[in-house]
Amino acid sequence: MAENNQISDSQNSNSVSENCGNGGNGARRLKIGLVLFFLSVAVSVAGGWLWYKSKTELVTDDAFISGHVHVVSARVDGHVNAVAIVDNQRVEAGDLLVELDAAPYRAKVHECEAALALARNDVDAERADVAAARAAVGRAQAQARQSEIDLQRAERLFANEVIARERLDQVHTAATVTRQALIQAQQNLQRTLAKLGQLGKSGQTARVAQRAAELESARLHLDYTRIFAPVAGYVTRRSVEVGSNIEAGQALLALVQLNQPWIIANYKESQLTYLDVGQRVEFSVDSYPGRVFSGRVDSIMAGTGAAFSLLPPENATGNYVKVVQRIPVKIVIDPISDPEHVLRVGMSVEPTVYTGRSFSEILSASH
């Protein structure tokens, strides 16, 4: 009897343990199911969010910072006497950069000043010649008028048989000589006026004007021996040194302006469907991780980058492989996002353009 009771007790304990074990496995399976459910929901939400971002945000890593780079060159030949700047120095507009040897150009100015003074003295002498030529014309005109009067009187006297034919011929000859003398005097006056340069309306002689222009040119060349900064910026690519001999047009250095940079982002042609001017842009650079800069789309280039390359591709061949083209997009940077001017020309950036499309627009476009 006692043994039967023990057997029944052991069976009861085994059934209780089995029931507990079954309950524990069910709870574990429930927890795993809940975890899988929430994971699937999270993955679905994340996937939907990423899909939505891909439709409203245009991202590219093919983008770089550009800016105004002013190449400073010499306007005259010369020997470098002084270089007032160093690499990466900030200069203001009007600051002296390079100074050339001004002695040859200063001597040229003195030479032109002397030539102008001589030209003015020559003009004074030629003006006296003009006055004398005018007086000669006046004298010849008076003689010609008198000869005409004498000729008319002689013809009347000859008609009345008062004088002989020989006397009339002598008066005719004298009148002809005076007329030719008048023509010669007038031509001499025109020649002296042309030499003086007073035939024009201004009244200033061409020779004096030429010497004055040469003097002005010499003074300009003298001023060009001092090279100043055209804009405010940072000195880069300095190649000039003291003692160098440079030529006109030779590049000496470059000035980079950092107060108005912009971004050239090369977007794929398939990304331009909803990209438009004025859209908001955010971007980051590798040099400042975690910092976000802002800007806006300024313009879209009127062609692909390959179309304006030095050697554009030739597609009219037998073997053609379609390649997705990229179109440069200019993005201007908000000055308030970079007050310290930390962005440098040539930096790689990753811009994100926010198209502003709504969820309903995306769904309608998908259908």
Question: Looking at residue 95, what DSSP letter applies?
Answer: -
Residue 87: partners with Cβ closer than 8 Å, 6 or more residues away: 235, 236, 238
- Only one residue has tokens 């507990």, namely 20
Sign of the alpha-carbon dihedral angle for 278, 283, 285, 290: positive
Enumerate the β-bridge partners of residue 284: 350
Helix (H) or strand (E) holding 304: none
What pLDDT does 201 receive?
42
Give the chain's residues under pLDDT 70: 1-24, 48-52, 54, 122-126, 128-129, 195-205, 313-318, 320, 359-367
* Boundary of a domain, candidates 139, 172, 207: 207
The 10 Å CB-count burial string (b at 16+, else e) for 93-113 is eeeebbbbebeebeebbeebe
The whole-angstrom separation of Cα 301 and Cα 325 is 13
Same domain, 166 and 108: yes
For residue 25, what are its two tokens?
């496995």
Is 50 inside a domain boundary?
A: no
Enumerate the β-bridge partners of residue 235: 255
What pLDDT does 199 receive?
46
Which of 248, 253, 237, 242 lies closest to 101, judged by CA? 242
Q: Give CA separation, 124 vs 88, 130, 226, 325, in Å.
A: 58, 10, 38, 74
Same domain, 347 and 267: yes
Is 87 inside a domain boundary?
A: yes
The domain that contains 266 carries what CATH number?
2.40.30.170
The answer to whether the beta carbons of residues 300 and 281 sit under 8 Å apart is no
Is 271 inside a domain boundary?
A: yes
Same domain, 117 and 95: no
Same domain, 263 and 247: no
Domain with 234, as residue range(s), is 69-102+222-256
Same domain, 197 and 338: no
Same domain, 116 and 95: no
For the chain, the domain total comes to 3
pTM beyond 0.95: the answer is no
The whole-angstrom separation of Cα 19 and Cα 137 is 148
Enumerate the β-bridge partners of residue 301: none
Same domain, 288 and 319: yes
What pLDDT does 15 receive?
52
The domain that contains 97 carries what CATH number?
2.40.50.100
3-class DSSP state for residue 315?
Answer: coil
Cα separation of the two ends of the chain: 82
Is 63 inside a domain boundary?
A: yes
Residue 65 CB neighbour total at 10 angstroms: 21
Q: Give CA separation, 341 vs 62, 263, 336, in Å.
A: 22, 14, 10
Residue 244: partners with Cβ closer than 8 Å, 6 or more residues away: 79, 80
